[in-house]
Chains A and B, each alone.
Chain A
Amino acid sequence: MSYKNYRLKTFEKASLCRNFENEVFKRVNEKIINFPVYLSAGQEYVPSSIAQIVKDKKQKPLIFGQHRGHSIYLSFGGNIIELIDELLGKKTGCTRGMGGSLSINSNKINMFGHEGLMGSNACMGVGACFSSAKPTIVFLGDASVEEDYVLASLSWAAKKELPILFVVEDNNYAVLTKKKDRRDWKAKDVAKAFKLESYDIDDQPKNIFSVLKKNLFKKPIFINVNTKRLFWHSGAGVDEEVKGDRLTVEKKFLGKKAEKIHRNIKKKIENLWKQRLEK
């Protein structure tokens, strides 16, 4: 696939995620969804870009996400209706109404649910990868990568040369505490010290494409991707205005074709939500 085509396909995935999250935002404000919700709007280019690469490589990895996982689920092809139902607490949801927003799961896309202890998925992902020898992706945040057990997992993945990708969606915040107030080290440097191939990049699809195209699932790789969270840590609100939202930038760059895709997806998602709410 050409890079141009990759970029457009990635946009399509990211647009799906953004439109979905905007609908969830509305339902939280309308108090239709009453439990804690972790919106991934603004960060969707990370899983979307990776999911498109994985799709092109015809791989079906084991996926271990965390609490902010809607975009991971959607990017990798999780069923949209089942996610809506999950957020509405229905038994037809992707986690039979047990998962809420934080603990979503999908057997169809090999996505394992998260229990809520930040970074635990790094340990489980490494263990699952080791024991199955299947390609595996672990999505972390810049806060969870500080957990000691995450570091131990990185070390063991390197030692065993596992076919695993660690992705840090680095939005700079642990709830609202900035990285500079929490540590004086870069995740990439720590990963490198464990002898992992490691990168620190922003969420331009070009960057993600370029670091993963060669060695994905051939050796353990660690990427820290700087991104921007549009909404609150939990719930539907805005902490501050975000400049340089990746989806907006890409839409502008890709032009009318992207605008049309975005409009159509928006309509589709709105209709799906409407239908599920009426059921």
Chain B
Amino acid sequence: METTLREVIKQITFKHLKKFKGQVFGQNLTGVGWVAGTLPKLYEKDGVIELPMADVANGGMVTGAALVGRRPFYIIRYQGYNWLNCIFIVNYACKSKEIWNKPAPMFIRGLSSEGGLGPVSTSSHISIFYKMPGIKIYSPMTKNEYTKTYKKFMKSDDVFYVSEHRKSYENKIELKNSLKKNLDIILMPISVTRFEAEKAKNYLNKNGYKVGIIHLYELKPFVLKKKWISMIKSSKYGVLMTDNDYVDGIIRTLAHKINEQTNKKVYVLGLKDKSAGYTRETSNFPPSALEIITKIKKIKAKKRL
């Protein structure tokens, strides 16, 4: 049976603990479902450390573990808690190498949900990390992407933020870019919206549109490849980016970077600028395939006018 992303994360974590004597920190690690089944069933003697319910302090304590070279994994079970956990990570761990020549490499696993969890925990919150110097941010949705990200971490002495999505854990397939010259529009989805963007692309291409896709998972540093620039420049309407963080977050920053390098219009679809409740009617969901399709149809219609 083909393995899932969940299984790959579990294997990587096991290797990190056993082979590299690393540590895994977090809250409720061993208690509820072993982090959606991504954590091997190990305990403190193996390096799996249950932290107290003190999120702000915990970010600092893991920074301390990183400063003494234990290359900790730090699991934040809901990205909403990034707001509490990020303080000492972004203000100390990320700056420590540059200011004091003391790197604090850590691998932060931030788990995101996809709506329905209220005002804080419903979505991604990576934008608050994004603006700070000294951090690398990835959002791998496939097994190869996750493995590559971990390998990069082990060769690096930087802080890595790895934005995970519960919805991706069952994923078995690799998501591939689809690009050629003179497309109508190119989708550049981030994180869990990549799955819906794939659906939208397939639908539109069957219905007379020419839509390409560039799957983004290396978010910071963000590099726009030469081939991508050339394809975007040759496209009719530019780019549509999608994300599961708020629309005024990281996605607008990236859109601006793309616009600067291609001089093409870059549209964005993220979480709406509103607070989220818990029901289908009140929550704030990431853009669906239908919303992406509708947006592209509108872009095309507007251009024709």
Residues of A within 8 A of B (CB): 62, 95-96, 98-99, 103, 105, 107, 112-113, 115-117, 120, 122-132, 134, 148-150, 152-153, 155-156, 159
B118 CB within 8 Å of chain A: no
Given contacts A128-B67, A131-B64, A131-B65, contact A123 B102 (CB under 8 A): no
In the complex, what distance in Å separates the CA atom of A236 from the CA atom of B60?
Answer: 32
Q: Residue A120 contacts which of B49, B65, B66, B88 (CB distance < 8 angstroms)? A: B88
19 CB-based A-B contacts, threshold 8 Å: A95-B100, A99-B99, A105-B99, A107-B101, A107-B102, A113-B96, A115-B92, A117-B87, A117-B91, A123-B58, A125-B64, A126-B57, A126-B61, A127-B63, A131-B65, A132-B70, A152-B54, A155-B52, A156-B52
In the complex, what distance in Å separates the CA atom of A128 from the CA atom of B92?
Answer: 13
Known pairs A62-B68, A95-B99, A155-B54 / 18 extra A-B pairs, C-beta < 8 Å: A98-B98, A103-B100, A105-B102, A107-B101, A107-B102, A112-B102, A113-B99, A115-B91, A115-B99, A123-B56, A123-B64, A124-B63, A125-B64, A126-B57, A126-B64, A127-B63, A127-B64, A156-B54
B23 CB within 8 Å of chain A: yes
Q: Residue B95 contacts which of A115, A124, A130 (CB distance < 8 angstroms)? A: A115
In the complex, what distance in Å separates the CA atom of A170 from the CA atom of B252?
Answer: 47
B99 touches A130 (CB 8 A): no
Chain B contact patch, size range: 20 to 34
Interface of A: prevailing SS: helix
Given contacts A99-B99, A112-B100, A117-B87, contact A124 B54 (CB under 8 A): no
User: What's the nearest-Cβ distance from chain B to residue A137, in Å?
Assistant: 13
**For chain B residues 224-255, which have a beta carbon within 8 Å of chain A?**
none
User: What's the nearest-Cβ distance from chain A to residue B74, in Å?
Assistant: 10
In the complex, what distance in Å separates the CA atom of A124 from the CA atom of B92?
Answer: 9
Given contacts A128-B65, A128-B68, A152-B54, contact A123 B95 (CB under 8 A): no
B286 CB within 8 Å of chain A: no
User: What's the nearest-Cβ distance from chain B to residue A87, in Å?
Assistant: 16
Residues of B within 8 A of A (CB): 23, 49, 51-52, 54, 56-68, 70, 72, 87-88, 91-92, 95-96, 98-102
In the complex, what distance in Å separates the CA atom of A103 from the CA atom of B49?
Answer: 30
Q: Residue B101 contacts which of A96, A149, A152 (CB distance < 8 angstroms)? A: A96
Of the candidates B58, B61, B102, the one having the most CB atoms from chain A within 10 angstroms of its own CB is: B61
Nearest residue, chain B, Cβ from A106:
B100
Enumerate the 4 nearest inter-chain pairs by beta-carbon distance, A residue then B residue, closest first: A127-B64, A123-B60, A152-B54, A127-B61
User: What's the nearest-Cβ distance from chain B to residue A197, in Å?
Assistant: 20
In the complex, what distance in Å separates the CA atom of A129 from the CA atom of B70?
Answer: 12
B72 touches A131 (CB 8 A): yes
Provide the residues of chain B in CB contact with A130, threshold 8 Å: 49, 61, 64-65
